[in-house]
Structure 1
Amino acid sequence: MIQVLMVEDHPLVKEGIMAILADEEGINCAGHFYNGTDLLYRLKSFQPDVILMDIDLPDMNGLELCKQVKALYPAVCVVALSINNQAGIIKKMMENGASGYVLKDAAQHEITEAIRTVVKGKQYFSRSASLYLRKADTGKLPPLTRREKQVLEKIADGLTNPQIAEQLFVDVSTVNSHRKNMLAKFGVQNTAALIKLAIKENLI
């Protein structure tokens, strides 16, 4: 029996996936968590075969969570489950140790296929995730969301994460998540390189 844990903060998505797994022979969803902190606490006493992991979580970025999980429990397979279709994010998630990436527009069978594939030591990408990865090879820069552009402009103005959070009326963790997503999107290592690229490409 393949043991699965899920960390997903959207109740509808959670219920849908749990219903899919409940009907699947040989797969057991042994637990669900709404944030990364609770998942990490559970992993101290129970390590599943696979973790289905959302990237945008309320308390931490899935990219960082995946890295932490793989550092502590290298035998646990991580499958990203996200609406984020940016090739840079997909690649960064895989670099951080994920074995698979499934977009939330995937067919039901793709979720179970992903679980069965990664426990065999192979990588898995949902059909749409593979498509976005191939599109990325055209060399075009990925577009920024409206909120990412706002955060980027504030960063360029020299504001700190707490200052940006205060001005945009969001949590500091949300600003930090946007910052990390943009670094991954554009394949740069730090904020200075992000600003340099943004100015060069007239993004700000």
Structure 2
Amino acid sequence: MLPPKITIAIVDDHPVVIEGLVRLLSKKPEFEVVKTFTCGSDFIRFIKKTHVKIVLLDIILPDINGMDLCKEIKKISPKTVVLAFSNHKERSAIMQMLANGASGYVLKDATVEEIVGCINGALSGQITFSKVVNEIIARPVLNEQQDLPKLTVRETEILKLIAAGENSPGMAELLFLSKFTIENHRKNLMQKLKAKNVADLIRIATQQNLL
């Protein structure tokens, strides 16, 4: 018996990009592109009624900012994996998408192998990036704290859940801990990694190969 296909939705305001992406992904028998959208509002209506395993999401859409849409998707369908698919190479855009719940960031000039690799990595719970995005994130930042304290096993577990877009109540349920304990771990992570906010935490953690 064949395993169920990985259902994919694409949200991008360029029909040519959508057409090319559908053609590429359709060559992979494990994938099924169930629907495509050129605006965010249509996708919101769709995701409220239909679950897909992964959505490839552009940042610039005609009716809604992709970063805001990412957060909305994770609220409506927490188990849907969001993978940013964009031309924008700004570090701030990458970090904001991660902070809003995206499981990775892929540039539109990535190879088919990179795209497929990122999709599979994100589905397995990893935070994934195409090659150029990895290089952008790896660039040293001025005044970055170089020697960071080691994290406990529990802190590493919670850090990965934060990067995956999970909130404190969700983590408490998953790990069978109280919300108070989760918040304490989050506070310790922010202090240990000298992070100002969640986006900063994910950026530093990624640079230090903690994710």
What is the TM-score with the length of structure 1 in the denominator? Answer: 0.66
CA distance in 1, matches of 2:105, 2:17: 16
Amino acid at match of 1:36: G
Structure 1 stretches of 5 or more lacking a match? 140-187, 190-204
1:42 is aligned to 2:8:
no
- Match of 2:18, SS state, is helix
Structure 2 stretches of 5 or more lacking a match? 144-195, 198-211
1:72 is aligned to 2:63:
no
Q: Deviations over 1:100-120 (max 9, x none)?
A: 100111111111111111111
Which of residues 72, 87, 90 in structure 2 aligns to 1:83? Answer: 87
- Root-mean-square deviation (Å): 1.6
Q: Deviations over 1:84-111 (max 9, x none)?
A: 0001110110000000100111111111
- Match of 1:137, SS state, is coil
Which of residues 11, 18, 21 in structure 2 aligns to 1:17? Answer: 21
Which of residues 13, 32, 35 in structure 2 aligns to 1:31? Answer: 35
Q: Deviations over 1:6-58 (max 9, x none)?
A: 00111111111000111012110000000100000011211100000000000
Shift of the alpha carbon at 1:135?
A: 2.6
> What is the aligned partner in structure 1 of residue 128 from structure 2?
124
Which of residues 100, 103, 118 in structure 2 aligns to 1:96? Answer: 100
CA distance in 1, matches of 2:140, 2:81: 25
> What is the aligned partner in structure 2 of residue 152 from structure 1?
none
| Identity score, percent | 34
| 1:43-192 alignment, distance < 5 Å | 43-135=47-139, 137-138=141-142
Amino acid at match of 1:6: I
- Match of 2:141, SS state, is helix
